[in-house]
Structure 1
Amino acid sequence: MFRRTITCLLLLFSLAAGTGCMSWRMPKFNLNDYRDPRAVDIDSRLADPPPQD
């Protein structure tokens, strides 16, 4: 039982470490080049508080 628990924890740790190392190698994509400038304007207007009448 104890050996099985240690084995499971070791496998889980190695999987997490492998996933972390793979994410470091992934290229960082700049998605700002594909963003529509009109959408930025709409987002900024939606983020503003509503006008007080």
Structure 2
Amino acid sequence: MVTHKKQHLPQKTCLVCGRPFSWRKKWAKVWEEVKYCSERCRRQKNPAAAGTH
């Protein structure tokens, strides 16, 4: 059985919330274009709006 070490995955920082996020298999082909950690952050896209509702 092959085990994968998750601590060795590439990481980026979300442009909206500033939190680090790790590579996911669904992003394998588009990792260079991924900028946001979640769909919610992608919809906001405005760093000034983060945290204000």
TM (norm. structure 2) is: 0.23
TM (norm. structure 1) is: 0.23
Q: Which has the higher helix share?
A: 1
- Greater RCO, 1 or 2 (C-alpha within 8 Å, sep 6+): 2
Q: Which has the higher strand share?
A: 2
Larger radius of gyration: 1
